[in-house]
Structures are given as C-alpha cells and as structure tokens.
Structure 1
Amino acid sequence: MALPTKGRVIIDTTVGEIDIELWSKETPKACRNFLALAMEGYYDGVIFHRVVPGFLVQTGDKTGTGGGGESFYGEQFEDEIHPRLRWSHRGLVGMANNGTKNSNDSQFFITLDRADELHGKHTLFGRCMGDTVYNVMKIGEMELDKEGRPVYPPKIKSIRIVDNPFDDIVPRITAAEKRAQQRAREQAQREREEEQRRKGAKKNVKLLSFAGDDAEEEEQLAIAKKPIFRPELVDAGKTKTTTAIPDFVTQPLASSSKPAPEHEKPKEKPSKKKEEDITKIREQHAKEKASSENSRKAEIEKIEAEIRQLQKRRDGNDSDEELARKKPKKSYLSEELAKYASSRGREAARHDDRG
C-alpha cells in the first residue's frame, strides 16, 4: 500500500506564521516524528537557537542550547535520503543531526538559500509555502552574538496541524493536556509562594527586624522573660554571712512589688576585665616614667660633657686624656667639703694660739 503524500502544519512564531507542506510519502519517519511531537506540544515555547546568515535557521531543541532534543520514537532514527528531493532553493525544511549518520531527534532547520552541500547528509521532509517564507528570512536577519545565537531569539508559540496523513499516531500526551499540566504547576507554585509569604508576614508581625532566624529566637526570648540572675548574691560559698535575696532576683521585673533600697543593694565588684585594664595602665605608666628618667639622665650627661669641653678649651688643652691625667675629676660636693674642712682647721689653730 502506497504511503500518503499529503501533510501540512502552520508554525506560529513570535515573528509570524510559517506554513509548511510535509512530504510524508518520501520521508514517513521524519514526518511522523515531527507531527507526533507537535501533537504533544513538544515544540511550544522552543526558541530558534542558531542562525547562519544566508544559510539556515535552526530550532527544535527544548533546552535552547543546541545540544538537546529527543525523538517521538525514544531514540535517534535513521536518515531518509530521497534522490528526487534536492536542496535547490530557500525555505526547505530538514532534520538536524549531530554530524553523523542516522542521528535524528527533534531538531530541524529551514534554509535561507540554495544549499547543495546538504545533499545526502540531511533528511529533507518539507518546504515553506507562500509568503510565509519571508518570516523565515526575518529570523535570518536578526542580530547575533559571537556564537551565532540571536541576541533576542524568536520563539515557537505553537504548531497547528492542518492536514495529518497519519491517523494512527497516538501521542503520549496531547498539547492541550500538556498546557493544562503546565498551568496547574504554575498555579501550585503561586499558591506555595503565597502561603510562604503569608507565613513570613505572620511570623514577623511583632518584630521590627529583618534578621530571619535570629529574629525568631529574639521573639522567643522576649516571650520567655528569663529572671535576672545575680551570682554575687546567691553564691553563699564565698561569703561568711548570708544575705536575703530580694524578690526581683528570682522573679521577673514585672512581678516585683517593692524594689530594694539603695543602702541594701550590694556593691558590685569590679570585673576581672576592669582589673586587667588598670594593671595594663599602671605598667604602661611605669614604663613611661622609666623612659623619661633615662632620657633625663642622658640629657644631664650630655650637658656635663659639653661643660667639660668648654673648660678644656678655656685652659688651652684639647686632649681629654691629658685633662683627665693632670686634673682628676672631682665632684662639686667634694670640693665644698674640702673647703669647709680647711676653714675648720685654721680656726682651731687660731684658738690654740690664743690659749
């Protein structure tokens, strides 16, 4: 029985419709695969991910990368090279592959000009009809990036089957069912987000903070109202006399009736950190004092050396060794004591003479 030769679909894209006639008699596997995927809504929302100016535009990859795609058969299917089908003009539709034979899946392309180099390498299964080929040309003139991808890629909105030559195709899922599932998923996602938003708003209604989990912990601490703890009052092991613990020590502040008088409040002991700070300040002060004394001694020695140098120059002796040899060093106190002793000796002698 001869296979039918009819088949027609309209691809609705963001740049306009593309009317395609299918050659189902010459390429039945490619046409059946294309129609079945269109029935399932596989191509809905898929972009034209590759454009080669003056050569072709390519689409059919659900991932939009050019490295994905799957066939209706569940695996790659073989090429259908027909000797009467030639790549002789623009607007021809063919199956894309990964560069090897019999590696067809869901990707397809449309030529922008004559492409004789594709003979025997790619399955040719349809052509653009009428003026809709100009919408394909629009895609071929779009702005591209360095990798040959459109900067603003057009998209397939849906594929409408006008004439189906294969009545026995049973899609795994119809496009309408797929769209219904997508709408249900989107609705469920919106409901989850709305529920999370409401929970977040209810949780933070008493807070003026945006700290997330920390804010929740602060709220729990504020509600618990932990009692004030005074270890210096309850630690009886360190004190000889026991002191009555006021009510506000073991109960929340809100339940206290009378605060403790000022004279009954124990004096707070200085913390260990404060003592360490005082010790550091004292050590620093001692260091500064010793440093100032050392500098003062050095200054005095410098002045005395200058005085000795002036005396040496006044006596006409430039040699420090000669001055040290001839005139031994004497302190001013020793000279004064010597003068005092000599005057005492003279007075004693005069006293003896008078006697």
Structure 2
Amino acid sequence: MSSEDKNDIIHMDIPHGRVIIKLRPDLAPKAAERIRTLAAEGFYDNVPFHRVIPGFMAQGGDPTGTGMHGSKLPDLPAEFTNKAKFERGTIGMARTSDPNSANSQFFIMFEPSPHLDGQYTIVGEVIEGMENVDKIKHGSGMSGMVKDPDRISRMRPAVGEKS
C-alpha cells in the first residue's frame, strides 16, 4: 500500500481487535481531515463507545462519554452527499439537530439505514474488522447509552505505522 493510500487508512484498536477504516475525502474532505488529525494527535485513545444501539449503530468520539462534547476544534459544515448510502460498516459524523455541528463524534453502522442518507456526513467505511465492531458492548433503552462502555484503546492513521 502506498503512503498516499495509507493517508486515508485509520487503524482503530478496540477490546475485540483491530478495525481498519478507510476515510472518504472524496465525499467529505473536511470531516476526513478532522478524523485524520484527531487520530494522529491521539485524541480518540481511551474514548468510549457511549451510545450503542443493536441493529443500528455504535457511536463514539466524545472523550467525556456523555455524547455532549467534542474536540476543541470548531464544528464542521455538513458535507451531505447522494453518492453514498448508509450501509453496514459506513461511518458517519454524529451531530446535534444543527447539520453544521459535527466535530469529533462518529458512528459506525451495524445495518443499512436509508433514513440517514443525505442527512448526515459520510466520512468513511470499515474495510476490515467489522466482526470486532459487532462485539462492542450494547447500550440499553431508546438512547442506547452504555454503562461501563467499551473503549477505543488506540486510533491512528496507518501512515508511519508498521502493518
């Protein structure tokens, strides 16, 4: 894999094993750059998957684990597209009801969710390790909030890492 290709690959280690993410700057250049930057800084290390809804998605990226916070960087503008769909393994940027409020939180789809198409920024996709994502501890209730959640142990761009 060339270093140019590796620039869009993120290695995410969770309790169940490695997950390899391919960022999609062709769909969301600002969001892809944000994930890449925060991962390179170690921002996601030890961050929980605070909201996990079986059959829907696993959400992480808030260091407080409350789902109410993000990084110190400014929020991102929406980068919606009709070119890609929310399928199993798709990674979207989480946000509030304001479409321009994505920051550091992201979610990984367990199943297709066409109702999200064109409503949330698609930033990437899981290309290896989806079986590990499937094992993330589930939350309860309508919100899917997780008590004692699984955490990302380490998340870094593949550039500079040994395979």
TM-score of the pair, normalised by structure 2: 0.87
Letter in 2 for 1:137: D
Q: Displaced runs of 4+ in structure 1, greater than 6 A? A: none
Residue 76 of structure 1 aligns with which residue?
75
Of Structure 1 and Structure 2, the greater helix share is in: 1
Residue 75 of structure 1 deviates from its aligned partner by 1.4
Alpha-carbon distance in structure 2 between the residues aligned to 1:21 and 1:28? 13
Residue 138 of structure 1 aligns with which residue?
135
- 1:125 counterpart = 2:129: no
Residue 145 of structure 1 deviates from its aligned partner by 4.0
Letter in 2 for 1:114: P
Instruction: Check conservation: 1:15, 1:154, Cα contact below 8 A.
Output: no
Residue 158 of structure 1 aligns with which residue?
154
**Structure 1 counterpart SS, 2:150:** coil
Out of 7-16 and 55-64, give the one that drifted further.
7-16
Instruction: Check conservation: 2:42, 2:156, Cα contact below 8 A.
Output: no
Relative to structure 1, is the Cα distance of residues 163 and 81 closer, same or farther in structure 2, using a 3 angstrom cutoff?
A: farther
Question: Equivalences for 1:162-173 in 2 at 5 Å?
Answer: 162-163=158-159
Of Structure 1 and Structure 2, the greater strand share is in: 2
Alpha-carbon distance in structure 1 between the residues aligned to 2:140 and 2:35? 29
**Structure 1 counterpart SS, 2:124:** strand
Instruction: Check conservation: 1:23, 1:126, Cα contact below 8 A.
Output: yes
Residue 31 of structure 1 deviates from its aligned partner by 0.7
Alpha-carbon distance in structure 2 between the residues aligned to 1:11 and 1:105? 18
Runs of at least 5 residues in structure 1 that lack an aligned partner in the other structure? 165-355
**Structure 1 counterpart SS, 2:21:** strand
Instruction: Check conservation: 1:19, 1:129, Cα contact below 8 A.
Output: yes
Letter in 2 for 1:104: A
Residue 125 of structure 1 deviates from its aligned partner by 1.3
Using CA pairs under 8 Å that are at least 6 residues apart, name the structure with larger relative contact order, 1 or 2.
2
Residue 24 of structure 1 aligns with which residue?
25
Question: Equivalences for 1:79-228 in 2 at 5 Å?
Answer: 79-87=78-86, 89-130=87-128, 132-139=129-136, 142-146=137-141, 148-163=144-159
Alpha-carbon distance in structure 1 between the residues aligned to 2:95 and 2:89? 19
TM-superposition CA deviations, 1:42-84 (whole Å, max 9, x none): 111100000111000000001110111125xx31110111221
Q: CA RMSD in A?
A: 1.9
Q: Which has the larger radius of gyration?
A: 1
Question: Equivalences for 1:344-355 in 2 at 5 Å?
Answer: none
**Structure 2 counterpart SS, 1:36:** helix
Residue 143 of structure 1 deviates from its aligned partner by 4.8
- 1:66 counterpart = 2:63: no
Alpha-carbon distance in structure 1 between the residues aligned to 2:113 and 2:159? 28
Length, aligned pairs only: 155
Question: Equivalences for 1:278-297 in 2 at 5 Å?
Answer: none
Alpha-carbon distance in structure 1 between the residues aligned to 2:28 and 2:158? 18
